[in-house]
């Protein structure tokens, strides 16, 4: 193996490790912060049901329920966007990791280390992954 090939192999290995570490860190952060939406939606639901009680209905301003309902809808929209963003971000990282595996291990997609855990991505051969990474 020449010096250039050794340097390339070392660089690809470090990129592979960094890509897996970055994906794992993002996954950890996602699972740490996504419960915020559960708590926020629950708090808004409790506020609406408390304020909507028969005894409080006559005393509250008309815009209170509208504001709380709007906050609930906004929170749900952010939750949806967060989940969608995470999904596409994960697909992108799987593509990057599988591309690096093809460069390092020079094997079929189905037998690479990360490809085993992402078998559905490897077997389905997503157009997104194939068009982005040669």
Max distance between CA atoms of the chain, in angstroms, equals 83
Q: Where are the alpha helices (DSSP H) in the chain?
A: 3-33, 35-51, 54-57, 63-105, 113-117, 119-124, 127-132
Question: pLDDT 10s per residue in the chain (134 long)?
Answer: 578 888 888 888 888 889 889 888 888 888 888 888 888 888 888 887 777 776 665 666 667 777 878 888 898 898 888 888 888 888 888 888 888 888 887 766 556 666 666 656 555 555 444 444 44
Residue in the structure block whose two tokens are 């967060």: 82
Burial readout 36-48 (b: 16 or more C-beta within 10 A, e: otherwise): ebeebeeebeebe
Query: What tokens were used for 20?
Result: 């897996």
């Amino acid at each position: 193996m020449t010096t250039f090939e050794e340097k390339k192999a070392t660089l690809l290995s470090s990129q592979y490790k960094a890509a897996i570490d970055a994906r794992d860190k993002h996954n950890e952060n996602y699972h740490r912060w996504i419960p915020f939406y559960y708590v926020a939606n629950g708090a808004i639901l409790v506020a609406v049901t408390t304020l909507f009680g028969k005894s409080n209905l006559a005393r509250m301003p008309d815009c209170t329920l509208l504001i709380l309902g709007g906050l609930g809808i906004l929170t749900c929209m952010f939750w949806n966007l967060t989940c969608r963003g995470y999904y596409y971000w994960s697909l992108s990282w799987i593509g990057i990791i599988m591309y690096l595996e093809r460069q390092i291990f020079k094997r079929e997609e189905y037998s690479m280390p990360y490809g085993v855990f992402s078998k559905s991505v490897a077997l389905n051969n997503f157009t997104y992954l194939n068009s982005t990474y040669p």
